[in-house]
Amino acid sequence: MKFLDQAKIYMRSGNGGPGSVSFRREAHVPFGGPDGGDGGRGGDVVALAVNGLNTLIDYRYQQHFKADSGRPGAGRDRSGASGKDVTLRLPIGTQILSDDQQTVLADLTYEGQSIILAKGGIGGKGNAFFKSSTNRAPRKSQPGEAGQEMWVWLRLKLIADAGLLGMPNAGKSTFFKRGICGPPENCRLSLYHASSQPWCCWDRWQRICDGRYPRVDRRRA
């Protein structure tokens, strides 16, 4: 799996469906009146923090995400169906920034956190909504509200609790061994330096702290 900590994507929520202009036409009902239904709501674009992801590589090959628009209303007071939402499954620790990378729109900090980034448009009202005692046969309806669209940046925060910086042969490994498991001759841990996959280093550090790192032969330590 390749590692990617930054990506730029385009998102657009769905438009609201237009309302309907319709009148009840039925035998033996001389004054049926208006029965145009409302349009459906447009779909949202939602960011969801999930566990088990540690890279944004999926958003390198697919950058456009568009939610469905709401369906138009119909006669017999039938409302249009709402559009389906689009869910962006992101790793925990992802920041969502505006196109200029200056404004933080969202910060996903825990599993299951859900934030609506682009809200879908509201469906328009049908002519049944506008009937009144003075206007028995309205012939107007509302168009659906337009959805939102934007370009955003996804940035994965890579933050460690502690770090060791120093020149080569400055004693970083020796300090690590002594700080984790005492004298070097008692250390049974393999050291993993900086690599192109930093989550591997973090996973092994967590195992060290939890005491779950597998035992190996002392002679090979």
The set of residues, in sequence order, having a beta carbon less than 8 Å from that of 131 and lying 6+ positions away, is 33, 34, 137, 138
Alpha-carbon distance of 218 to 105, in angstroms, equals 50
Q: What is the rounded end-to-end Cα distance, in angstroms, of the chain?
A: 29
Q: Go through 62-73 and write b for each residue having 16 or more CB atoms within 10 A of its CB, e for each that does not.
A: eeebbbbbbbbb
- In the chain, domain spans: 1-159, 172-215
Alpha-carbon distance of 83 to 13, in angstroms, equals 9
Q: Which amino acid is at 135?
A: N
List pLDDT tens digits, range 142-184. Answer: 999 999 999 999 999 875 556 677 888 888 777 766 665 555 4
Number of residues assigned to the chain = 221
**Contact 42/148 with Cβ under 8 angstroms?**
no
User: What are φ and ψ of residue 124, in 5° steps?
Assistant: -75, 155
Report DSSP letters for 108-129, one per residue. Answer: --STT-EEEEEPPPPPPP-GGG
Which helix (H) or strand (E) segment holds residue 60: the answer is helix 58-61
List pLDDT tens digits, range 44-77. Answer: 999 999 998 889 999 999 999 999 999 999 999 9
Q: Given pLDDT bands bounded at 50, 70 and 90, which one contains residue 198?
A: very low
Helix (H/G/I), strand (E/B), else coil: 96:
strand
Question: Looking at the domain 1-159, which fold is it?
Answer: Spo0b-associated Gtp-binding Protein; Chain: A, (2.70.210)
Calculate what percentage of the chain has a pLDDT beyond 90.
Answer: 60
User: What are φ and ψ of residue 75, in 5° steps?
Assistant: -70, 175
